[in-house]
Amino acid sequence: MIRNVIFDFGAVLFEWNPLQIVNSFTISQPERDILLRDVLQHSDWLSLDRGTMLIAEVIPKFSARTQIPPQRIEDFIIHIQHSLTKINQTEILFQKLTKQPYSLYYLTNMCSAFFDTLYEKHHFISFFDGGLVSGKELVMKPEQEIFERLCERYQLTPRESLFIDDNDENIKIATEMGFNTVQFSQTPTCFQQIEKQLLLH
């Protein structure tokens, strides 16, 4: 029996589409390619998510590597935060679950500054019963440790929990650990699958 529902943030509750993010920031194709490859897909971005580096530290590093001025990199990071808009259908699902006897948690790979911005901006995040942000924990999905930490901190049992994430590696590790899982996509089929698992009609 499922008692807990665990949501990822990026690409589940909030839009996260790196290609769209760079395309809406600049019309220059060379700059788009650089920002995608040398910022969003670079290991320094993972360090930001992991919390081992801060935004103030990565800006000069990204700038030196890409030859893009620091102010432009800073503008891009602000743009990224503005791009994290709510996925309305997931929010509707979340609101529906707050009226059900489920405990609701989040488990997200995100730098703490981004999370804090989202928390201030979106009131509904305060309705979660708890959750972990990789940037505050210094450990991230798909590492088993972050799942174990979530369970320990909130006394969760994997088999009583449904984990919703878009990333197949994260889903794979959660499934191996005994969680019920749904790999998320913004499709009616996916929402039906979640509702079926949670007996929502």
State the DSSP string of 6-60. EE-SBTTTB---HHHHHHHH-S-HHHHHHHIIIIITSHHHHHHHHTSS-HHHHHH
Domain match, 90 and 147 both: yes
Q: Which of 61, 83, 105 is the last residue of a domain?
A: 83
Domain match, 164 and 67 both: no
Domain match, 122 and 173 both: yes
pLDDT tier at 13, thresholds 50, 70, 90 = very high
86 DSSP 8-state letter: B
Q: Which of 83, 118, 139 is the last residue of a domain?
A: 83
The pLDDT score that the predictor gives to residue 201 is: 54
Domain match, 167 and 90 both: yes
Domain match, 22 and 49 both: yes
Q: Which of 83, 107, 134 is the last residue of a domain?
A: 83
Q: What is the DSSP string of 165-189?
A: ES-HHHHHHHHHTT-EEEE--SSHH
**What's the residue count for the chain?**
201
Domain match, 190 and 101 both: yes
Domain match, 52 and 92 both: no
Domain match, 55 and 25 both: yes
Report the CATH number at residue 110: 3.40.50.1000
List beta partners, residue 7. 106, 164
Count the domains in the chain: 2
Query: What would the pLDDT profile of 82-100 be if each residue is shown by its tens digit?
Result: 999 999 999 999 999 999 9
CA-nearest of 131, 180, 165 to 151 is: 131
**Predicted structure pTM score:** 0.96
Domain match, 116 and 25 both: no
Residue 181 belongs to what domain range?
4-15+86-197
Domain match, 135 and 78 both: no
CA of 21: how far to CAs of 36, 40, 77, 196, in Å?
9, 10, 10, 33
Domain match, 97 and 191 both: yes
pLDDT tier at 60, thresholds 50, 70, 90 = very high
194 DSSP 8-state letter: H
Contact of 161 with 136, CB cutoff 8 Å = no
pLDDT at residue 200 greater than cutoff 80:
no
**Buried/exposed code over 19-34 (b: 16+ C-beta within 10 A; e: otherwise):** eebbeebbeeeebbeb
- CA 1 centroid distance within chain: 26
pLDDT tier at 199, thresholds 50, 70, 90 = confident
Domain match, 32 and 114 both: no
Q: What percent of the chain has pLDDT over 70?
A: 100
